[in-house]
Structure 1
Amino acid sequence: MNWLEDFMELAAVRNFSTAAAARHVTQPAFSRRIRALENWIGTELIDRSSYPVRLTGAGETFLESSRELMREIYRVRDECRQQARAGIEAVTFSALHTIALSIFPDLLTAIEERTGPFITRMHATDFYDCVESLALGRCDIAFCYSHELGPPVLQTGQFASKIIRIDPFYLVSKADQEGNPIIDPASWPKNKDIPLVAYSSDCFLGKVQSQLMLDMQKAGSSFRATYENSMSEAIKRMILAGKGIGWLPESAAVREIEQNELCIIDRKPTEVSLNVLAIRRQGVGSATQERFWSNLRGL
């Protein structure tokens, strides 16, 4: 379905960058998905030699069939949803892994103490898939981070949002028996790279991390990545194993900091405050969704 909707968007605007922005994905990811569709069909659908791009003869044929297929798919989906609403309604969420693991359970408990229980479904994923899930109607509410150093987040137009929490983003190290960092950039030899447990450069926290690293590099620090992952939980495990320093949201590390397993390195220069956003589409949702949203308190 994603491939079909990508193709129809590209056919409408005839520009990869514009279509990717409309589909809330990066242009490289969008291009890969169009190429995956063409591989599945077995022939090129887009003539990339012209500007703006054009559909090939096969592309023109496939476009009409795609529209018919999507209309039928959404008709069947709506019919199934109407049948499901006759029973118990669930609220469907999409969230970044860190938020799904470290913030959402306590948030849900706090809301249920005021309103009674909910049936919930959670899809833990990366930033771009989280935003795309909301835009395409695959979830009712999305939870993601927002910060000026990261990629932009949907907060206007057809979307409504609430900042529900501030989550500080700390540079941390494994702590020794005295509670001091085993790796401290302030005392690290200037001629040696600091071992870093790093986020993947294409994830949200990776983009924030990259800017913080640049700031430290300007001050004379240099880094050597020893491990890379897009999930905070994986980053934390490797820092605890002594593989390097790294950045973690407070929500993912608070227990280990309190138990002196991790310690924060030099709070002020290396810390940023991440907004935790709850985002939904404008308009009236199900009664269950509206009950959850109305009791979701913003800062």
Structure 2
Amino acid sequence: MELSWLDDFLALVDCGNFSRAADARHLTQPAFSRRIRALEDWAGTPLFDRSAQPVTLTEAGRRFRPFADETVRRLLQGREEARLAAQSEAATLRFAATHALSLTFFPSWLRALEARARLGAITLSSDSMEACERLMLAGQAQFLLCHAHPAAAGRLDAESFRSVVVGGDRLLAVTAPDAAGRPRHLLADGESKPLPHLSYSRESGMGRILEAVRAVQPLTNALDTVFTSHLAAVLRTLARDGRGVAWLPESLIAEDMARGTLVRAGVPAGDERWTVPVQIRLVRPRARQSKAAESFWTLAVEAALWRNAESPTESATSVAAPVAGAEPVTEKEL
């Protein structure tokens, strides 16, 4: 069995299509198909249901996937640790962050930490939550900054990763105002007409959060999805154009709300049923990292503890809405 077969397997899981997965792996489709077949021959059973479109995992494939994820991650981690052993004093900090937080939270958070200690060189990869998770699993980023909610599980399991709450945010249901300044699209009890919905795609962490929250607390209003994107900034632009209702991070739309180019879609205005409180978390692998990365983690945790001690009210509001088994702690396993 070749390690590259596991990369092929995970590419097909992500793409759901042999042609796109082959392109992603820089292979011809026949060559890619032969490698998937070779992996299945090695496993002794089909791992994919080819009769479905997109291609889906068989039960055997679903059982195999976590082992493939972990094997690839650990091998890449082993390679990374070998490199770090040779360059133990490497000072560059490698971050992955979702698009919205890269634009809003990351710069000010970093500035506050730099006021406490010198950080050195930093690289930031800004992408969707799904892409950021892949960077972490591949060992290509040391830290992930993302929105989180206790109800929404991700691919970074507690056995291999840990996290700390470094801030709070809210996903607000917003829309453009009409000429009188009222919500153009109204979330209210008794409204039976489906509202045009500007939705997040499945690559988005906020889309994952909203889906999980709605499974626990269904909306009373029907939504008609008219546009989908993994970028909150794109949904913000369309919401300002009056195209529908979007749940957007307050950190991203604070100026729009102040200027009145976006207004809360729910009524009455103070009704928080349409609001989803979320955490901002810093995630890292459990495995020991470079000296610079370990020093940064200590600094970030200390700053988070200081922040929560100085602003207990703000800290309380940063914790996402209660769900079974969730604890409002500063540092928590994913």
Determine if the TM-score, normalized by the shorter chain, exceeds 0.5. Answer: yes
Distance in structure 2 (CA, Å) of the matches to 1:81 and 1:50: 34
Aligned to 1:195: 196
Q: What is aligned with 2:160?
A: 158
Return the offset for 1:147.
1.4
The equivalent of 1:28 in structure 2 is: 13
Report the counterpart of residue 147 of structure 1 in structure 2: 149
1:78 CA displacement: 7.4
Deviations 1:248-276, CA, capped at 9 Å, x for gaps: 01111112112222122334111111111
The offset of 1:42, in angstroms, is: 6.2
Gaps of 5+ in 2: 48-70, 309-334
1:292 aligns with 2:296: yes
Return the alpha-carbon distance in structure 2 between the equivalents of residues 193 and 295 of structure 1.
Answer: 48
The TM-score, its normalising length taken from structure 2, stands at 0.65
**Residue pairs, 1:3-42, within 5 angstroms:** 4=4, 6-7=6-7, 28-29=13-14, 36=22, 39=29, 40-41=31-32
Cα distance in 1 for partners of 2:257, 2:210 equals 20
Instruction: Name the counterpart of 2:265.
Output: 265
Shift of 1:84: 6.8
CA distance in 2, matches of 1:118, 1:251: 27
Cα deviation for residue 141 of structure 1 reads 0.7
Q: CA deviation at 1:290?
A: 2.6
Would the aligned equivalents of 2:88 and 2:291 in 1 still touch at CA under 8 Å?
no
Matched, 1:46 2:39: yes
What secondary structure sits across from 2:116 in the alignment? helix
Deviation, structure 1 residue 285 = 2.5
Amino acid across the alignment from 1:207: R
Matched, 1:125 2:152: no
Residue 207 of structure 1 deviates from its aligned partner by 2.9
* Equivalent position to 1:277, from 277, 281, 285: 281
Asked if the contact 1:197–1:245 (Cα under 8 Å) also holds between the matched residues in 2, the reply is yes
Instruction: Judge conservation of contact 1:151–1:204 (CA < 8 Å) in 2.
Output: no
Q: Percent identity?
A: 17
Gap change, CA 1:285 and 1:261, over 3 Å in 2: same
**Secondary structure of 1:161 counterpart:** strand
Q: Which residue of 2 aligns with 1:175?
A: 177
Unaligned regions of 5+ residues in structure 1, if any? 11-19, 55-66
- Counterpart of 1:28, as a letter, is V
Q: Structure 1 residues 100, 5: closer, same or farther in 2, change over 3 A? A: farther
Report the CA distance between 1:144 and its aligned residue: 1.9
- Cα pair 2:170 2:250 within 8 Å, conserved: yes
Alpha-carbon distance change, 239 to 214 in structure 1, aligned in 2, over 3 angstroms: farther
**Structure 2 equivalent of residue 233 of structure 1:** 233
Per-residue CA shift, 1:9-64, capped at 9, x if unaligned?
x7xxxxxxxxx6xxxx9x8327658963573456232337986449xxxxxxxxxx
> How many residues get paired?
265
Equivalence for 2:117: 115
Give the secondary structure class of the aligned counterpart of 1:4. helix
Cα distance between partner residues in 1 of 2:198 and 2:272: 20
TM-score (norm 1): 0.72
- Structure 1 window deviating more from structure 2 (209-218 vs 153-162): it is 209-218
Partner letter of residue 248 of structure 1?
Answer: L
Between 1:232-241 and 1:168-177, the stretch displaced more is: 168-177
Moved more, 169-178 or 90-99: 169-178
